[in-house]
Amino acid sequence: MARTVTPGPRRRPTTASPRMIDAPPRLPMRGTGLSEAEFQKTVATVEWVPALEYGWDTGEAIGRFLAGLRAGKIYGVRCRRCGRTVTPPRAFCELDFKPMDEWVELPPTGTVNTFSVCYVTWDMKPLRKPQVPAVIEIDGTTPRVGFLHLLGGLRGTSVEAVHRQVQIGMPVRAVWKPARERSGAITDILYFEPVRGKGRKA
């Protein structure tokens, strides 16, 4: 059924520049592009919805980190050899390849390393209220050691509105779920919110 398509003007109309015959590869290229309507109506497709379930173990280090979140504390780990303090914690230093040396309790505050204002879901459906994902550097960790979380407590939904309230380098603090609702999950921190009235940090 495959249609042979020779290099030259293709079905996509373009008034820009004509397709040159001499553009390689010179042999005819094959492939049949379908429109959404053709895919939905004229081509037989077989559908399959996988039903796979997983139960993931936390591991030692993340398990202790999650227990800390349930108690309203953010823990990190320190390696004396490279001098780094990192969170989320890990059992071993991936650079020095030795066990981490100590656990440290970190403050629930940090700095915005970067953020986005996301208006689509993973399947590209529009979101009326954007998500504001961010990389947060928790105070007391090594510079440029951040982790993914969300910014919240913001007014408005436009890029401009979000930018009026958040900038890279701004101090933020964790907003926790009420203690009785925490489950020992990353979402025990609802989001980080700007610490208003404080200056920017580098």
Partner 1 sequence: MRATEAPLLGKPRRRVAVVGAGMSLFVRRALETGKELSYYAASQALETAGVKRREIEAVVMVTAPDAFDGVHMKGEWLLDGAGGAGKPYMRTYVGGGSGVFGLISGWTLVASGLFDLVLVIGEEKMSSCQPHPQGAFLTIFDHTIERPLGPNLLWIFALEQHRYMATYGIRNEDIALVSVKNKRNALDHPAAQVAANLTVNDVLASEVVAWPVHRLMVSPVSDGAAALVLASETVARRLTDKPVWIQGVGWSLDTSYWGNRDLAYPRYVEAAARMAYAMAGVTEPRKQIHIAEPYDPFAYKELHHLEGLLLADKGQAPEDLAQGRFERTGPLPVCPSGGLMGVGNPIAAAGVMKVCELFWQLRGEAGRRQVPGKPERGVAQAWGDLMQIGTVAVLGIH
> Which residue has 């910014």 as its token pair?
151
Given partner 1, Zn ion, none, residue 168, with its beta carbon under 5 to 8 Å by kind, binds partner 1
Binding to partner 1 (CB under 8 A) within 120-179 occurs at 120-124, 131, 133-135, 144-150, 159, 162, 168
User: One-letter amino acid identity for 171?
Assistant: P
Neighbours of 10 (CB within 10 A): 11
C-beta of 97 vs 178, nearer to partner 1: 97
Q: Is 193 in the site for Zn ion (CB under 5 A)?
A: no
- Bridge partners of 136? 112, 147
Cα gap 35→42, rounded to integer Å: 10
DSSP 136: E
In the list Zn ion, partner 1, none, the entry touching 34 (Cβ below 5 to 8 angstroms by class) is partner 1
- In the list 113, 140, 175, 176, the residue contacting partner 1 (rule: CB under 8 A) is 113
Restricted to residues 77-96, the positions that interact with Zn ion (CB under 5 A) are: 79, 81-82, 93, 95-96
What is the rounded CA–CA span in Å between residue 42 and residue 48?
Answer: 19
> 70-94 burial, b if ≥16 CB within 10 A, otherwise e?
eeeebbbbbbeeeebbbbbbbeebe
**Nearest distance, CB of residue 90 and partner 1, angstroms:** 8
Name the token pair of 107. Answer: 């403050």
Whole-number Cα distances in Å, 49 to 40, 46, 52:
17, 10, 9
| One of 17, 128, 178, 199 touching partner 1 (CB under 8 A) | 17
Q: How far is the CB of 15 from partner 1 (least distance, A)?
A: 8
- Contact partner, 179, from Zn ion, partner 1, none, Cβ < 5-8 Å per class: none
The token duo for 8 is 């030259």
Residues that bind partner 1 (CB under 8 A): 1-2, 5, 7-8, 10, 12, 14, 16-17, 19-20, 22-25, 27, 29-36, 39, 43, 47-48, 50, 54, 56, 58, 62, 65-66, 86, 88, 90, 94-95, 113-124, 131, 133-135, 144-150, 159, 162, 168, 185-187
